[in-house]
């Protein structure tokens, strides 16, 4: 009997990437094997995102192409999962009757039941039940690199007016700390050296039920033998606690980087967004972080063109970016999202003006990022090797890639006389002398390689 093959197309945030990994592990346990492209798959899962209009359009375009294929290939099974699935539910079947499974954000572990129904000739399934008590932490995905996402909580209780996450991901739900630590220990035994703890708002971890604060969880993870680095995302400024600041001061495996979305530099717009902090409070929190960890890298999210944003509001955002000097930002043009309260706000900003503002913002940030990267030139920094990145300079030396503790991408070569260079592989720690600071990365040459797997049992 021919083994069935699956392909998962993922759009959106790290949480979607993590969910797709879990689905991959679950489908593999059912006897499916991964396909390299949609055309080779018997089952195609489109894991969708609804945070931005463009992401939604991209997902629906792919579903449309798959639906057309199914009309001539009825053996194809199509599943739409993620946030658009949760939001639209039955609407997806009305738009695309060829879709077999609509899998909501809390329904991952129920995929086997739905597949059996489809294979038995049953009709389409829509599962958007968020109250069924799923045990998502039991699903594990494949380990394909030295870095891995670990979901510590789901949902959000903040209800920012531009955001649909509370409606499509539900309210905050924290995993037990013991299960998180157990999963990370298992990952380390399989070769993982860096974990990124995921949640829509990791700072509020534990507040819903288990009494273990996020700072305390970080301390527990920091004690796991063989783990080299800890990252986390995403944080809400209002929940940045003194305990988390102390974690940056005291935990040696916690990376020197925090992603702390500000969204706007205007108090008026922050209030309309329901962000629950002021510009001054945000700046004060950044000051405490910089006092606790010298050289900590700061990244942020910023929305331009939010309803009612005046030129003065936008200039206040530019002023904040100049004042903070973020290492990097993710900038977005505001778009109305169904279910989000801001979609009903009447004072929309002109689309051409939105584009002007985002180009102005990105130009400013690019100049800051480039200057800060140039400051690394001549330094020797530690890089966790993630893999090969091709060849440098007209096919010359083999180039490796990884990230430093500030989350900068570093591409580097390994000279023949580099101590330990002959044994370089993903998971090693490279001491790299930076030769060039580029707009979005660093470039250098390794001066020493250390085997991060030494004295650690790897399954």
DSSP-derived letter for residue 52 is S
* 138 exposure class (CB count in 10 Å sphere: 0-12, 13-18, 19+): exposed
Q: What is the rounded CA–CA span in Å between residue 144 and residue 389?
A: 16
455 lies in a domain? Answer: no
User: Contact at 8 Å (CB) between 376 and 406?
Assistant: no
CATH code, domain carrying 33: 3.40.50.12160
* Same domain for 384 and 246: no
Give the pLDDT score at 459: 41
127, 162, 191 — which closes off a domain? 127
Give the pLDDT score at 258: 98
* Same domain for 165 and 60: no
Distance from the Cα of residue 152 to its chain's centroid: 13
CATH code, domain carrying 443: 2.40.50.140
User: Contact at 8 Å (CB) between 257 and 224?
Assistant: no
335, 363, 391 — which closes off a domain? 363
456 lies in a domain? Answer: no
Q: What is the mean pLDDT of each run of 10 residues along the chain (459 residues)?
A: 86 87 89 92 93 85 95 94 92 95 91 92 91 56 85 92 91 91 94 94 86 94 97 95 97 98 98 98 98 98 98 98 98 92 96 98 98 98 92 70 97 94 92 96 96 51
* Same domain for 311 and 244: yes
Peptide bond into 458 cis (omega under 30): no
95, 110, 127 — which closes off a domain? 127
Q: Count of domains in the chain?
A: 3
* Same domain for 222 and 76: no
pTM for this one? 0.88
* Same domain for 116 and 174: no
User: Contact at 8 Å (CB) between 146 and 191?
Assistant: yes
DSSP-derived letter for residue 3 is P
CATH code, domain carrying 337: 3.80.30.20
Q: Provide the pairing of β-strand 328-333 with 297-304.
A: parallel
User: Contact at 8 Å (CB) between 401 and 384?
Assistant: no
Q: Provide the pairing of β-strand 43-48 with 153-154.
A: unpaired
Give the pLDDT score at 391: 61
The domain of 76 spans: 5-127
């Amino acid at each position: 009997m021919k083994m069935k093959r699956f392909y998962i197309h993922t759009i959106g945030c790290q949480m979607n990437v993590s969910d797709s990994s879990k689905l991959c592990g679950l489908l593999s346990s059912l006897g499916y094997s991964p396909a390299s492209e949609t055309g080779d798959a018997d089952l195609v899962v489109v894991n969708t995102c609804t945070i931005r209009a463009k992401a939604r359009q991209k997902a629906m375009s792919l579903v449309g192409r798959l639906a057309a294929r199914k009309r001539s290939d009825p053996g194809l099974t199509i599943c739409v999962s993620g946030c658009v699935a949760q939001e639209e539910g039955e609407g997806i079947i009305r738009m695309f009757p060829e879709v077999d499974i609509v899998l909501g954000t809390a329904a991952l572990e129920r995929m086997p039941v739905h597949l059996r129904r489809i294979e038995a000739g049953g009709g389409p399934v829509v599962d958007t039940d968020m109250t069924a008590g799923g045990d998502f932490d039991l699903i594990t995905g494949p380990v394909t690199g030295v870095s891995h996402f670990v979901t510590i909580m789901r949902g959000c209780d903040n209800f920012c007016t531009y955001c649909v996450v509370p409606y499509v991901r539900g309210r905050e739900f924290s995993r037990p700390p013991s299960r998180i630590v157990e999963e990370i220990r298992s990952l380390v035994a399989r070769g993982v050296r860096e974990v990124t703890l995921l949640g829509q708002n990791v700072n509020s971890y534990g507040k819903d039920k288990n009494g273990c604060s996020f700072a305390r969880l970080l301390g527990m993870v920091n004690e796991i033998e063989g783990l080299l680095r800890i990252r986390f995302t995403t944080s809400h400024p209002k929940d940045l606690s003194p305990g988390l600041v102390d974690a940056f001061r005291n935990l040696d495996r916690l990376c020197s980087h925090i992603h702390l979305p500000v969204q706007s530099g205007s108090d008026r717009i922050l209030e309309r967004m329901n962000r629950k902090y002021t510009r001054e409070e945000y700046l004060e929190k950044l000051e405490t972080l910089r006092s606790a960890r010298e050289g900590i890298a700061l990244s942020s999210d910023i929305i331009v063109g939010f309803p009612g944003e005046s030129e003065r509001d936008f200039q206040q955002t530019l002023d904040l970016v100049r004042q903070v000097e973020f290492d990097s930002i993710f900038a977005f043009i505001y778009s109305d999202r169904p279910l989000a309260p801001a979609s009903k706000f009447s004072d929309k900003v002109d689309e051409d003006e939105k584009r002007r503002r985002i180009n102005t913002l990105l130009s400013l940030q690019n100049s800051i990022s480039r200057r800060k990267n140039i400051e690394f030139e001549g330094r020797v920094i530690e890089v966790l090797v993630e893999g090969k990145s091709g060849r440098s300079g007209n096919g010359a030396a083999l180039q490796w890639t990884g990230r430093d503790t500030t989350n900068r991408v570093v591409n580097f070569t390994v000279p023949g006389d580099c101590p330990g260079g002959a044994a370089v592989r993903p998971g090693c720690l490279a001491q790299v002398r930076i030769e060039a600071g580029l707009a979005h990365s660093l470039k250098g040459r390794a001066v020493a390689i250390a085997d991060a797997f030494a004295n650690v049992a790897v399954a």
